Amino acid sequence: MGSSGKAGAGRPERLIGALVPPLTRRSAPAVPLVVPKLPRLGPADARSEPLLLDVVCLDASGRFCSRSVLTALAWSPGHRVDVRVGMDVVVIASCAAGRQAVGGRGELTLPISARMLAGLDLEARVVLVAVPTRDLLLVHPPALIAGLLAEYYGPRPEHHDDG
């Protein structure tokens, strides 16, 4: 401060280079992840397409193991897979450049983000649906399967024959 008592009186204000952040380009907007459209299986497909079902319990880290499912899919330790999330489903597909792999003891891991987006509870049971002909493993919350079964076995309209 000078004798006038005013800070910087008579001098233009200058920015101090070390305190000014460098100009950065904004990154491109995030591209949403494309979830593969799963084909609907009709009654004829369900009879001809072999499916294997299993129920497993996730540990606190989202790991699970099902030897029968991995054997049906021919996925051995080190096999690369890709994980995608849909509504009430996690789709695990064989992928040579997949970010994840079957563990040394035959376990697969569902990332916390995938579990939360698919509505899977932490440390909960999940229903596995293996589709070996398509090299896919579908992971569903049990509530979804229970709802489908309740709808299938629920009350049906009675058929009256007036003849």
Q: Strands 100-101 and 89-94: what pairing?
A: unpaired
Which tokens go with 133? 């002909």
CA dihedral 71, 75, 77, 80 (to 10 degrees): -160
H helix runs in 12-118, sequence order: 43-48, 67-73, 112-117
Residues 133, 50 contacting (CB under 8 angstroms): yes
CATH no. of 49-153? 3.40.1550.20
Give the domain ranges of the chain.
49-153
User: How would you write the pLDDT of the chain (163 residues) with one tens digit per residue?
Assistant: 555 556 556 778 776 666 666 666 666 665 555 555 655 555 545 566 789 999 999 998 999 999 999 999 999 999 999 999 988 889 999 999 999 999 999 999 999 989 888 888 776 899 999 999 999 999 998 888 888 888 888 877 666 666 5
